[in-house]
A = this chain, B = another copy of it.
C-alpha cells in the first residue's frame, strides 16, 4: 500500500488548478479575541459544489488514462462527493454513475442529476449499495472513485492545505475535520511534508469518534451507527486513511454536539459565511480545549457550506 507524499499533492495541485477555485483564507478579529488565538479559515465552502470534495474528485478524474475515461467513473455517495464527482466528470466530458440510497434527500438527488450524472437508486444498506456499484462496474467497466479510500482522492484533498500554507506559511497548528479520513490524510501529508514543526490535529464529533478511538488504541475501530449533526463525518476511517493519519497526525480531539452547533452559528453570525456542521467541528475543538490553542496561529480547513436551511439544528 503506497502512501501519498507531498510531491503527489503538489502534482495533484498542478493537475486540478485549471478546474478548481483557489479559495480565500479568511480571518475574524472578533473570533480571534473570543478564542485568544489567531485563526485562519481556509474557506472550501467557496469551492465548486460548495465543498473540498471537488478537489479529490477532479484529481481522480484527471488521473484516469484515456481508455479509462471512455468507460466513465462510478461511486456510491449521497453527499458532497456525489455532486463533486458528477461535476468533475461533466467538466471532462466523461460519464459519472452515482449510486444513491433511495431515501436520499430530494435536494441532493436534484443536485447530482443537475450535474448530468446517471443515478442508480439502491436500498439504504451497505450490501445493496455495494451490489449496485459492482453491477455498474461489471457492465460498463467504469472506474470506482471511492469518497476517501482512494490515493488520488486523498492527494486532491491535500491541495487545500497546500494553498493555505502557501498563503500563510508560519502556522503553529492546522486542524481539519475527520470523517472517512480523506481530507485529514491529504492535509496531514501536505503539512508534515512542508514542515515537521506544524502540528496537525483532527477534529471529530464525540458522537462519531472512530478516528479518536482508532488513533488512541492503535487498532482500526469503525463507528457503529454514529449519530451527529455533522453529517459529513459519519463515515469511518479505512485502512489506507488510518495508516496515513497514524503516520502524520499529532492528535485527534472530539467535540460535543452542542459545541458544534454553537460554533456553526458563531461563524454565520460573526463572519457572515455559511459553513456546514462538519466544518464547525474544527472550531468546536478549539472552544473545548482553549488552553491547547491559546496564542497559537491556527489554520482551519473549512470543509464546506452545504446546509439544508429548512432543517437547521437551532
- Write the residues of chain A forming the contact surface with B, with a CB cutoff of 8 angstroms: 24, 45-46, 50, 265, 268-269, 272-275, 305, 309-310, 312, 314
Contacts and interface: CB of A to CB of B under 8 A. Distances in A.
Contact of A273 (B273, B312, B314): B273
Given A46-B272, A272-B274, A265 B309 contact: yes
A273 B24 CA distance: 13
A77 to B, nearest CB: 20
Given A46-B272, A273-B273, A309-B314, 17 more contacts: A24-B24, A45-B272, A50-B272, A265-B309, A268-B274, A268-B309, A269-B274, A269-B309, A272-B273, A272-B274, A272-B275, A272-B305, A273-B274, A274-B274, A309-B312, A310-B314, A312-B312
A62 B310 CA distance: 44
Q: How many copies does the complex hold?
A: 2
A42 to B, nearest CB: 14
A286 B305 CA distance: 25
A273 B46 CA distance: 9
Contacts of A272: 45-46, 50, 273-275, 305
A261 to B, nearest CB: 11
Nearest to A44: B272
A45 B45 CA distance: 17
Which 6 residue pairs are nearest across A and B when measured between Cβ atoms?
Answer: A272-B305, A45-B272, A272-B274, A268-B274, A273-B273, A46-B272
Contacts of A46: 272
A268 B50 CA distance: 11
Nearest to A26: B46
A262 B274 CA distance: 16
Contacts of A50: 272
A51 B310 CA distance: 26
A309 B275 CA distance: 14
A73 B46 CA distance: 40
A269 B265 CA distance: 16
Output the residue of A46, A273, A310, A314 with the most chain B CB within 10 A.
A273
A312 to B, nearest CB: 8
Output the residue of A268, A275, A310, A314 with the most chain B CB within 10 A.
A268
Nearest to A276: B272
Output the residue of A45, A305, A310 with the most chain B CB within 10 A.
A305
